[in-house]
Amino acid sequence: MLKPRLLHPSESLFLHPKPFLHGSSGRSSTASLPVWSTKPSFSNKHQSLRFGSTNYRYKTKAVSSDSNSTSSSSDGTSSGVSSTSTSSSSTSNTSTPGPTTTTTITTTTEVTEVVTETEDAVVDKEVEVVTTKEVVTEKFTSVKGTITVTLTVGGFLNNLGLTRGIDDVRDMLGQTLFMDLISAHVDPKTGSEKEHVTGFAHRSSQKDSEIVYETDFKVPLDFGEVGAVLIENEHHKEMYLKDIVLDGLPNGPVLLTCNSWLHSKYDNPAKRVFFTNKSYLPSQTPSALVRLREEELVTLRGNGQGERKSFERVYDYDVYNDLGDPDSKLRLKRTVIGGSKEFPYPRRCRTGRPMCETDRLSEKRSSSTYVPRDEAFSEIKQLTFSAKTVYSVLHAVVPALETAMVDSDLGFPLFTSIDSLYNEGISLPPLKDQGVLRTMVPRLVNAIASGEDVLRFVPPETMNRDKFFWFRDEEFARQTLAGLNPYSIKLVTEWPLRSELDPDVYGPPESAITTKMIEQEIRGFATIQEAIREKKLYILDYHDLFLPYVGKVREIEGTTLYGSRTLFFLTPDGTLRPLVIELTRPPLDGKPQWKQTFQPSWNATGVWLWRIAKAHVLAHDSGYHQLVTHWLRTHCATEPYIIATNRQLSVMHPIYRLLHPHFRYTMEINALAREALVNAGGIIETSFSPGKYSMEICSIAYGKEWRFDLEALPADLIRRGMAVEDPTAPHGLKLSIQDYPFANDGLLLWDALKQWVTDYVSHYYTDSTLVQTDQELQAWWTEIRTVGHGDKKDEPWWPELNTPQDLIDIITTMVWVTSGHHAAVNFGQYTYAGYFPNRPTIARTNVPTEDPDDEVWKKFLEKPEITLLQCFPSQIQATTIMAVLDILSNHSPDEEYMGEKMEDAWAEDKVIRAAYERFKGRLMMLEGTIDDRNANYELKNRSGAGVVPYELLKPFSEPGVTGKGVPYSISI
């Protein structure tokens, strides 16, 4: 039986606010609970009380601004064996931030007892009492910490069951988030990190979609500047931290912008570190933060082992070995892209999934693909327009369309049938979850009075302005300069045209396009040599890229392929005129090489053959645009930049903070594209001409065409012969075609971006030494070149990184690709391809003049319209593509446009803040300039009767399918 212990005469019973101890770590909490103690457990000085040879050590602490609050006897000496007194003050979680004085009073009483014993055993006692006092005054400041957590669909508030109940209890006890404040400065005496100031945050309030947690810290005045916060989530579910604000510090409030998922300690016991918004180069990092900076990078790199878990934030590399699904069906086995000379490619994010059973080179597919946790879409983007919606369309809309259209190979019988897609629409069969399609694609799926779902397309702006826009040759030519793919048109610099492919395999290299043919078309303007010298002849050249795959693609049912060349002439009014199309088939099935030219004609047969040839070229251009101009050059090429940035640049690094908004959501959209768009049997393979060889062709294009140094807009224009350097011209370039809307607007945006990057970089890197000695920066650029784009690591054209100007050029190229380049080739997809005859994605039949039999030729002569419609995509292909392009062209409500909102870290520095404001001003000026240009009817490539104004590079946009707006990043 436990017996109560009697107090020693020297002991007093204290009631003081002793911190609640959580777990076994001995951490203290700001949730103060009263604890009874026989010894006051205060820190600092010690008091010794000696009874003969016995010592009692304890300490006392008085919290007061009055240093004289001691009790004493009337004669000024302490009464009794010892005398100590304390003046206490209460602590509250709602204390006002600001300086507070802590007075520590140490009273030392020495009692000396002298005992004298006489012969008759009489005891004489003398007691000598000596009392000394020492008063030490310490100062601290009360700091309020406020943590804002955003409510999420999948986060901790969605947690039901037992763990939710436990989490609610933790909230009530004020034990939701355990925090450590970390000083940016080391202890000057020891040279080591200062002791952390800790506390639990308790739930304070909730407003709309945010919950606020608060805590109070007592921070010593010599703590110095707060450099970081360690935080632990005591809940069983992750939560999304928006930001942390520390108010009451001597130098004013400190903001830590988080915008990050905080894992549960039950998933990972390691605490998360969040640094303040102040940026530091590695060499300038405060000593007390160096260890945390390095350790965080080690965490983000991972160890390259095992399958990644959804809550992790590990960034690592892998090849594209996850496109196929051979374990499901052997016909879905696909070549590994990347890591070989035959099929070079940028790297993707490693997931660590196991290999397939039937193909040990291919990674198994799963219901979801890992991306580092903070790369995930925001809740708004997830629930409105995103690649997740595309995935849903493919898994709900497409099966519904397949049910509605019994024959998947059935084409459109008449052009009026195509028009009906925008009028009557397609009745969809009942679904188990009624209305699910209306939720996923509300712009397209409508409910009619009978309760049925109808897929009814919105007419694109091009069709609204001119129903027959797609039929006109001048519009066909104009769109090479101001359409969806303005990156392919090139200047003809050599004549005659020749192939660089092996003639022993692919046949004679000479083009079928002759001098006589061209000069007949441009008679009265120039000879062929004059046209080339005066930069009047331009080409779309898909000959050598596609010709090696013609035989393979033609083995796939329902598609065909040619190598193609299309020539254009620059007229005196600055517009392009199509001259000739050449289609080529290599030697195949014992037949020799076949090639034929098609020209605009003045007889019925020639006119229809020209239209069919044009449909093939448009299918080639659509495939190249989607696979190379869009997917490869923006999405794929950028992913290694993102991985390297997170692995090698600390979040404190100014270059990380410059790049971060340009990388948001790209890794998730890429992962979802590998799940549903570019995968085996995905939408690209089933609806574009190259079929299952699409990604192989994309890889070949990467090997032959992609160069980092030529991804900058000025360099790209020069490479294609569309501009030459001219220091006296605007932007330092003279355009070959003065009215080139993409280039005209793009160069203004490029200049604005470059000036912003120049101002930013120059602020942090004042000389070349800082660039050369920045270990994080050098490791970042080395990893991009040798790992992320490792298949091209030995190329001589990679830029050096030795000077601030080198860095400016590299960064400007990257952010141009993620912003201007991507916007120009993505957000006009529904505008220009929403009426699919304008940009068919696939040509399903050969031209009727290639090895024709009598029946094919007869049908063509009797009903050429049917021949063209049969060449177009099938009903299921066309409607699927149109539905997907509608989603991909959509701006979500939370779209982040360049120049619209300043990053918190940029706002911390007045120099950067001023530079950003100038950048924003240039973008607003660009908006006005584009409007003025579109109103100028002298610029015939961007204005005119029935012409859609060129707005793809206008910086800002409202939500929806608008055909304008330049977001920071590749987020769709």
Coil, strand or helix: which one is 222? helix
Q: How far is CA 419 from CA 102, 342, 416, 457, 723, in A?
A: 82, 44, 5, 10, 40
Q: Which residues, other chains included, contact 654 with Cβ-Cβ below 8 Å and sequence gap of 6+?
A: 279, 280, 281, 760, 763, 764
Annotation says 630 is catalytic:
yes
Sign of CA dihedral 812, 815, 817, 819: negative
Annotation says 662 is catalytic:
no
Q: How far is CA 76 from CA 17, 85, 103, 289, in A?
A: 31, 14, 21, 51
Q: What is the DSSP string of 523-580?
A: TTT--HHHHHHTT-EEEEEEHHHHGGGHHHHTTSTT----EEEEEEEE-TTS-EEEEE
**What letter does residue 355 receive in the DSSP assignment?**
B
Other CB atoms within a 10 A radius of the CB of residue 251 amount to 8
Residue in 485, 826, 838, 846 annotated catalytic: 826
Radius of gyration of the chain (CA): 36
Burial class (CB in 10 A: 0-12, 13-18, 19+), 153: exposed
User: Which residue in 675, 673, 630, 668 sits closest to 382, CA to CA?
Assistant: 668
β-sheet bridge partners, residue 104: 136
Other CB atoms within a 10 A radius of the CB of residue 94 amount to 8
Q: How far is CA 813 from CA 549, 708, 775, in A?
A: 32, 8, 22
Annotation says 972 is catalytic:
yes
Would you mind telling me the total number of residues written for the chain in this entry? Answer: 972
Residue in 543, 616, 625, 635 annotated catalytic: 635
Q: What is the DSSP string of 811-853?
A: HHHHHHIIIIIHHHHHTTHHHHHSSGGGS-S---S--TTSS--
Residue in 543, 821, 822, 891 annotated catalytic: 822
Annotation says 625 is catalytic:
no
Look at the block and give the residue holding tokens 């240039």. 922
Annotation says 635 is catalytic:
yes
Runs of H (alpha helix) within 848-948: 854-862, 864-871, 875-888, 904-907, 910-934
User: Which residue in 33, 11, 317, 369 sits closest to 175, CA to CA?
Assistant: 33
Measure the CA–CA gap between 955 and 937, rounded to whole angstroms: 22
Coil, strand or helix: which one is 15? strand
Q: How far is CA 776 from CA 267, 492, 653, in A?
A: 29, 44, 9
Q: Which residues, other chains included, contact 876 with Cβ-Cβ below 8 Å and sequence gap of 6+?
A: 398, 401, 402, 405, 408, 410
Measure the CA–CA gap between 556 and 550, rounded to whole angstroms: 10
Residue in 625, 630, 662, 731 annotated catalytic: 630
Residue in 211, 737, 842, 972 annotated catalytic: 972
**Is the Cβ–Cβ distance between 510 and 877 less than 8 Å?**
no
Our CA angle for 435, 441, 445, nearest 5°, is 60
Any idea which residues carry the catalytic annotation? 630, 635, 822, 826, 972
